Amino acid sequence: MAEVQASGAGESPGTVAELTQALTQARQEADNHRDQHLRAVAELENVRKRAQRDVENASRYGLEKFAQELLPVLDSLELAVSNAARADIKSLVEGQDATLKQLLRAFEKLNIKPIDPVGEPFDPSRHEAVMAQPSATAEPDAVLQVVQRGFDLGGRLLRPARVIVAKAPGA
């Protein structure tokens, strides 16, 4: 037993030195991990701020693009109003037609598409039925007439089409 204690006592200084070295190494690794953690947290915060700024810019510049597309339509309408007293009916109609075409081109550039479902089955997620009308020629629940066109923005409904829906005669 004394032999074990002596050899144990002889190994203690070596063990303490090893433990001190291991502790120093563990502290360095802990400091390194803490530094990496702080850098990761800072990078995450930078990414979050950058993403927030990108969303704000996308919203701001998206609206700017929309406004730029509509400005020529506004100019055309202002010109029509200022010339209305001096214009004849034919030129007013031509001006309105040109302005409408300008607006539709702007919508096309902005990926705004009209919903014109005549003859299609009624779809409550894209259409709003304002009335049902008996029809001998159309399938029941088919769209007979569009009262007000709907619009879609890149696959997302902006406004449902207001429609008259067919119902079976006598129903």
Q: Are strands 150-153 and 112-115 parallel, antiparallel or unpaired?
A: antiparallel
pTM (2 decimals)? 0.60
pLDDT at 87: 82
Give the contacts of 25 (CB within 8 A, at least 6 positions apart). Answer: none
Q: 11 with 91, same domain?
A: yes
User: What is the average pLDDT across 104-111?
Assistant: 91
Which of these three, 80, 110, 140, is where a domain ends?
110
pLDDT at 145: 94
Is residue 164 within 8 Å of 144, Cβ to Cβ? yes
pLDDT at 13: 60
Check which CATH number belongs to the domain holding 11 and give it.
3.90.20.20
> For 58-62, 70-74, 153-157, which range has the lowest pLDDT when averaged over its residues?
58-62
pLDDT at 24: 95
Residue 5 tokens, joined: 């204690």
Q: 52 with 87, same domain?
A: yes
Q: Measured in whole angstroms, how far is the alpha carbon of residue 142 from the centre of its chain?
A: 31
Give the contacts of 95 (CB within 8 A, at least 6 positions apart). Answer: 76, 79, 80, 83, 87
Closest CA to 120 of 152, 147, 142, 145: 142
pLDDT, tens digit (0-9, with 9 covering 90-100), for 45-55: 999 999 999 88
User: What is the average pLDDT across 33-46?
Assistant: 94
pLDDT at 85: 83
User: What is the average pLDDT across 124-147?
Assistant: 93
Closest CA to 115 of 80, 148, 144: 148
Range of the domain at 134: 113-171
Using a pLDDT cut of 90, give the percent of the chain over it: 58
Is residue 146 within 8 Å of 116, Cβ to Cβ? yes
Domain count, the chain: 2
User: What is the average pLDDT across 125-139?
Assistant: 92
**Residue 5 clears pLDDT 80, i.e. is over it:** no
Which of these three, 57, 86, 110, is where a domain ends?
110
Name the strands in the sheet holding 150-153, side by side, starting at the edge strand that comes first in the sequence: 112-115, 150-153, 156-159
